[in-house]
Amino acid sequence: MLPSNKKMTNICVLEILKEYTDERHPLTQAEIIKKLYDNYGLELERKSVATTLDSLIDFGYDIIKTKTGCYLGEREFEPSEISFLIDAVFSSKSIDSNNSRLLSEKLSKFLSKYERKKFNYICKADQMIRTNQKQLFYTIDVLNEAISQGKQVEFNYNRFYVKENEKKKNLRYKINPYFMINNQGRYYLVCNLDWFDEIANYKIELISNIKILDTPIKPVAKLKNCENGVDMVKYANENIYMFHNNTVNATLKISNEYAAEYVYEWFGKNARFYTQENTIYADISANEQALIYWCLQYGESVELITPQETRKLIAEKSKLISEKYKGA
């Protein structure tokens, strides 16, 4: 049995309101008294419960009193916000099934037990195709610490090899970490491989055996094309497929309003739309390699006008693809 003091009573009553009440499920004072005894072994009179509820209201909790009982109104998160966050967890390809389920269950605890029933699909997480990297959260924590301390890290990078190559598999990478990005449901480390002078991206889910080194990171300003530093938001918007070569300023010719939506979906407000002679155009900045593959993906609806060099590369790749399907 827990000690029956005022502080403990306030906490226990609040926990009961969080767990068992919402707008459709208020509790009477008698029901609160019963749950206090059943859950915590606390024996309280109605007068004490009423005083506790008033104390919680005075402290700032949104407790709504009605003729049929009371319930906790505003919470840390609205059901719609929890729904969005859980969907984000489930859509992430970087989180394994066990961690996705555990994280989703933690998020759902911000709701009442009745509202949590809407998220029964949490138990279906194992049916989804996910990475089997259970060290993801640990790796993110270590990277956060290394970035905040300005220290290098060392790790193994478990990329896929068609033919097993133990030498490459066990290779240790010395990395200068700068920041992390969530791109299309996967976490990437934006960094520099120490023996090169360019920005690189690594999938965090493929990192293992990570270790923070005592050596300071290489200043990002020393890297190629990074003399003025790296704008994280700009970098994320330009590197839509997380390739790491040069950024180009490009103009797209768009066939119709529906196709314009594709451009906005990928490039957002960074795309400048305008119309000339009843034709829609958009000016964007993007990683060249990513832009080539994006244009191939939406080739029926979008045409790259400039730069001419990138346009030629798209033409070459289109020709190669066409040759493969000739005679189909």
Q: What is the DSSP string of 20-51?
A: H-BTTB-B-HHHHHHHHHHHH-----HHHHHH
Report the candidate in 73, 155, 67, 64 with the shortest Cα–Cα distance to residue 112: 73
Report the candidate in 179, 184, 231, 216 with the shortest Cα–Cα distance to residue 200: 179
pTM of the model: 0.55
Q: What counts of helices (H) and strands (E) characterise the chain?
A: 11, 11
Place of tokens 């196709």: 259
Mean pLDDT, range 26-40, rounded to an integer: 94
Q: pLDDT tens digits for 135-183?
A: 787 888 899 889 989 999 999 988 766 556 666 677 899 999 998 887 6
6 compared with 23, residue with greater pLDDT? 23
Report the candidate in 256, 244, 270, 269 with the shortest Cα–Cα distance to residue 298: 256
Q: b/e per residue, 217-232, with b = 16+ CB within 10 A?
A: bbebeebeebeeeeee
Q: Which structure tokens are listed for 103? A: 């994280």
Strand, coil or helix: what is 287?
strand
Q: What Rg, from alpha-carbon coordinates, does the chain have?
A: 27
Give kind and range of the element (H or E) at residue 188: strand 186-193
Q: pLDDT tens digits for 258-272?
A: 888 888 878 877 889
Q: Considering the chain, what is the average pLDDT of its residues?
A: 84
Which residues, 6+ apart, have CB-to-CB distance to 160 below 8 Å?
A: none
